[in-house]
Amino acid sequence: MILLETEALTRAYGGVVAVSKVDFQVEAGLITGLIGPNGAGKTTLFNNMTGLDVPSSGKVFFNNKDITGFPAHKICRMGIARTFQNIRLFKELSVVENVMIGRHFKTGKDATHGRFLNALKSYVYLKQEEQEIYEAADNWLDFFDMSQFKNELAKNLPYGRQRELEIARALATDPKLLFLDEPAAGMNPQETDHLMATIRKIRDLGITVVLIEHDMKLVMNICDTITVLNYGMKLAQGTPREIKHNPSVIEAYLGKEEE
């Protein structure tokens, strides 16, 4: 089943076409890799699918529903969460608070509880809601084995942990689809191995994962299917094995062999 799909998605900034007529499909339940040389338009494509940017033309479908041009918070509420290439944590908040923010729209108006003014309602209600949010957040911290850092400020975490916290925060929104923008950037080999195990664990929870990554070992190891972008256009799509032997992909990465 196709969970998310773009149809001839194009994003141009003035004369520069960052993404050009890309048809990108995400199969539910799989790990999809999005690779390509620097400036190929990977992050732009991500931003256009998660509502942080609006496509110049083309459409985005999620669960067969047209979500083109939806604001980011709505897209998140539909079940698409993401992390960022340059970590965007709430630095001055504690680790657990970061994850609790991921639970923001799970209680209150959109869930079973009523409205915004609930914050002014009974003390008991508020306590209960906070406890609920806290427990859910705590579970995700346990998943990442980070409970001991609970009350540390996010900015004081080691780099690898910050990356994990960002994933935990995204997962706290209970997504169906998780976008990871270069999750292994800046990690050492041990941390990368750990991350691979984590991503597999996430997939086993039934969450579809799409990731941008430059670390080919990681991509080839865990992705079920890979899409290659180059100069904003889709170059190839297939299993890791197919991509590894695709001549145009090799050309894009290594250049053409002289005859």
Task: Using CB under 8 A, list all residues that contact other proteins.
Answer: 50-52, 71-73, 76-77, 81-82, 84, 88-94, 96-97, 100-105, 107-108, 116, 118-120, 123, 126, 129-130, 133-134, 138, 147, 150-151, 169-170, 173
Residue number with CB closer to other proteins (81 or 228): 81
Residue (171 or 195) nearer to other proteins, CB: 171
The DSSP 8-state label assigned to residue 65 in this structure reads E
Contact 173/102 with Cβ under 8 angstroms? Answer: yes
To other proteins, the closest distance from the beta carbon of 212 in angstroms equals 15
Whose structure tokens read 């609790």? 100
Asked whether 232 and 39 are in contact (CB, 8 A), the reply is no
Taking the complex as a whole, the smallest distance from the CB of residue 142 to other proteins amounts, in Å, to 11
Other C-beta atoms closer than 10 Å to the C-beta of 82 total 25
AA letter at 139: N
Give the DSSP letter string of 207-251: -EEEEE-S-HHHHHHH-SEEEEEETTEEEEEE-HHHHHT-HHHHH
SS3 category, 88: coil
For other proteins, the closer CB: 134 or 231: 134
Q: Which residues on neighbouring strands pair with residue 210, listed in sequence order? A: 32, 179
Q: Are strands 225-230 and 31-35 parallel, antiparallel or unpaired?
A: parallel
Of 166 and 215, which CB lies nearer to other proteins in the complex structure?
Answer: 166
Q: Is 20 helix (H, G, I), strand (E, B) or coil?
A: strand
Q: Choose between 32 and 107: whose C-beta lies nearer to other proteins.
A: 107
Cβ at position 82, least distance to other proteins in Å: 6
Taking the complex as a whole, the smallest distance from the CB of residue 163 to other proteins amounts, in Å, to: 14
Pick 59 or 77: Cβ nearer other proteins: 77
Which residue is it, tokens 């004081």?
Answer: 156
Nearest-approach distance from CB 73 to other proteins, in angstroms: 5
Q: How far is the CB of 134 from other proteins (least distance, A)?
A: 6
